Structure 1
Amino acid sequence: MGHDHERDAGAERWKHDGVRVIKGDRLDPNTAQTPGMFRQAAITHARVGAQRIWAGTVAIEPDAKTGVHHHGALESVIYVISGRARMRWGERLEYVAEAGPGDFIFVPPYVPHQEINADPEQPLNCVLVRSDNEAVVVNIADVDPVEAPEEVYWVDPIHARPET
């Protein structure tokens, strides 16, 4: 009799602690927000018990961009659903690459970078995955970029406007 009880307890544990499906219309907007962007969390420690990963979506307004920053030891992956992403990186943002629908972007730890919606008319929609649950953003104000920045900044405590 004890054996059946153990099996039932195991089934209950797996039912509630096993695979989770987070429906697209059930994402959580109660995450760090930035003007020009709309982030929604899907996979977090609080939502599903994730220990070493964060995943969600981000919608970025036309022509919007972040200030220069890095994410400390975190690794980030961005998957472009629609729109055109431009990434600038390096000590002076001297490197640039663009990505479109179906493309993946990998941002290694400590790389100074700037995320840009390269389309002046269409939103940029992406899936974002980070290698930890903690949001680490280190703003870099003393960058002398090789190209003058665009006019629209994502400005908030996470992505501050560079000093002028």
Structure 2
Amino acid sequence: MSHQDHVHDHPHDSHDHVHPNEEQDTGDRWKHNGVRVIKGDRLDSNTVQTPGMFRQAAISHARVGAQKIWAGTVTIQPDAKTGVHHHGELESVIYIVSGRARMRWGDRLEYIAEAGPGDFIFVPPYVPHQEINADPDEPLQCVLVRSDNEAVVVNIADVEPVEKPDAVYWVDPIHKHP
């Protein structure tokens, strides 16, 4: 469908929005409610912190008014592991900046994959999984994006972790200590 074939489901004389190439005075409507740039050195570290982990919010409801998404950074200490859990209806995307991540997933954590710098990890809703810093010596630095501002973690006690989090737990506001 070309731009000229675009079908509107509202009359042209009652526009609530501005189409490109239309002349309409918008005033300051988008000045404070439009695109926001969050500088990397201006992230919000006023989040719950735990030893061995440093988490900062970039995009959240509190910071920019986001309604359906949360994004931030997380640095996980060497050899840290979560317990077995899922995130309910949430979708998560993890981008590896540096270090080595290992993911185990499945009803018995029977599947495994690793990711390194430049790789993305997608965690669909309800997938039982365990997140692991695969490097015993170097921190794992990631960018985390999730599909809601509300953190959801459902711990799964009846699945034994293949890699027991006996040395260091990966604990943060959405990954509680078992």
- TM-score between the two structures when normalised by the length of structure 2: 0.79
1:143 deviation in Å? Answer: 0.9
1:128 counterpart letter in structure 2: L
Identity %: 82
Ranges in structure 2 where 5+ consecutive residues have no aligned partner: 1-23
The 8 Å contact of residues 139 and 158 in structure 1, kept in 2 or not, is answered as no
- Which has more helix, going by share of residues? 1
Q: 2: distance between equivalents of 1:102 and 1:155?
A: 24
> Which of 48, 66, 84 is the aligned partner of 1:50?
66
Tell me the equivalent position of 1:128.
144
> Which of 110, 114, 125 is the aligned partner of 2:126?
110
Taking the TM superposition and a 5 Å limit, the aligned residue runs for 1:85-96 are 85-96=101-112
1:13 deviation in Å? Answer: 2.1
Tell me the equivalent position of 2:15.
none
Ranges in structure 1 where 5+ consecutive residues have no aligned partner: 1-5
Tell me the equivalent position of 1:64.
80
1:124 counterpart letter in structure 2: L
User: 4+ residue runs of structure 1 moved beyond 3 angstroms?
Assistant: 32-35, 155-158
Change in Cα spacing, 1:160 to 1:107, as seen in structure 2 (3 Å) is same
Tell me the equivalent position of 1:3.
none
Q: 2: distance between equivalents of 1:88 and 1:23?
A: 33
The 8 Å contact of residues 88 and 97 in structure 1, kept in 2 or not, is answered as yes
Q: Describe the superposition over 1:24-55 as per-residue Cα deviations: whole angstroms up to 9, x where unpaired.
A: 11111223434432111100111111111110
SS of 2:138's equivalent in the other structure is: coil
The 8 Å contact of residues 103 and 112 in structure 2, kept in 1 or not, is answered as yes
SS of 2:30's equivalent in the other structure is: helix
1:60 counterpart letter in structure 2: I
Cα RMSD (Å): 1.8
Tell me the equivalent position of 1:75.
91
Q: 2: distance between equivalents of 1:20 and 1:114?
A: 33
1:119 counterpart letter in structure 2: D
Structure having the higher Rg = 2
> Which of 114, 119, 138 is the aligned partner of 1:98?
114
